[in-house]
Structure 1
Amino acid sequence: MGELKHCPSCNDFFNYTGIREVCNKCALDEEKLYEEVYRFLRKRENRAATIERIVEVIGVKKSLLHKWVRKGRLQPATFPNLGYPCDNCGKLITQGKLCENCVVDLKSGLRQFDAAIEFRNKVNEHEATYRKDRR
């Protein structure tokens, strides 16, 4: 059973079933835009087009292009200048949610946190041993 939601594109109500984020009318409009973008990119001279170029020529929103790349409808292997923004810094990526730099930073932060926890546990353990010996 679906729930009633506002369409983020046209603000109409629609029955959200978890399949589409927009109403049927907007989904059809998006599909027409997708077909137009795909036809544009299939031409040899346009395969290396950037997102900005596609927006300029077709008039599609960047967010839609990002969505199609994220969902795998537009393959960066075929169209090398396409991607979507990293969830953390906004750098253009082609897979996952974070760019390589953000992943490295996150792992580094986690290692530092784990080291701090381990150090705190050792200090607490040492203090407990010291107090027990002093009795």
Structure 2
Amino acid sequence: MELKTCEECGRTFAAENGRTLCKRCFDKKIDNDFKLVRDYLYDHPGADIKEVADETGVDEAVILKLLKQDRIEVVEEANTLLRCEKCGKSIKSGRLCDDCKKMDTMKQMRDVRDQMKENLDKSQEANKNSVSYHSR
């Protein structure tokens, strides 16, 4: 990681992935890009990613990031732009389709249940092996 000077505000920051903006300015730019994209899509529903990028000046990668963050969504049913990261099914926003989200949630719940059961078993075993004294 190297120290760089932010192109926008002049602050020194630890640069990651070749960034030229500090986190504050980068986040501000993303928010401004989001507003441009949102406003364009409001006036032009159904526009594809290339059209939005060309008309707003927002990079296609940023638009994809906004889709994955659930800040915007694809409105067409025949979406080929965004796919579920697990099964490849077409999705409107985010990273996973509804089915894969449910499966992930169920898996997390099973993992928590199994961990709780394991902790309970250990606790019961420790209590069984411990000596306790009672006064009369």
The TM-score bracket by the shorter chain reads 0.3 to 0.5
Q: TM-score, normalised by structure 1?
A: 0.47
Q: TM-score, normalised by structure 2?
A: 0.46
